[in-house]
Structure 1
């Protein structure tokens, strides 16, 4: 049964139970799951849509869609025709947008040669989405050298 939150998983299911990064990767960290989420954000709704876009093996796609539904990232409904299943992002799935954009922008900077062609993310006006940059309350840029993790006691 799908839940809005992953608390249904017990501590032994998590790679690192107190780390939000590890938990997120446990839920959506494999290559195919995040690409399915990306394509759902870009309008894919049916098994055939995802299969055509990704070129993924059918059994792997079936497994990843099921896991994303089970973990509350996607919902599954029967299409009005009654012949196929459709998938839609949940609020948790839509909340991955910032993470997908951050990975895209990292890939633009580090996974392509300067003159290599690539897709571009643009806003509704056709402007390239500006780089994401975390900032503190005062608007100053944050970096790994200016932050630290507080672990639970």
Structure 2
């Protein structure tokens, strides 16, 4: 939880320290193939994405996606969301690589769009905190 709060405060390095420890603890207490472990991988992926470290973000989200597929199947909402996030991360990694290649080539050419480095939204952080703590909101109709 502290890693998520630090992420919300944009203290990425300190956040990563706590989140990597949380990943280790979820593996130890829940197992490396548990949905809690998948959630830890996903949170790490979002922090690495915010830092622009797309290779590490992709690595963690791929692991989360594999766990989701094995635990709840290809057609579950959580697996689909993870797959969509993987696709978006891959696209952003390609944009970043193109921008780096363009800058290092020194050739004048068409403008390359810069990659996006998302800043954490309070709403998303709150959702992740709720999921971490096991809090589920059921909408009343």
TM-score, scaled relative to structure 1: 0.29
Larger Cα Rg: Structure 1 or Structure 2?
Answer: 1
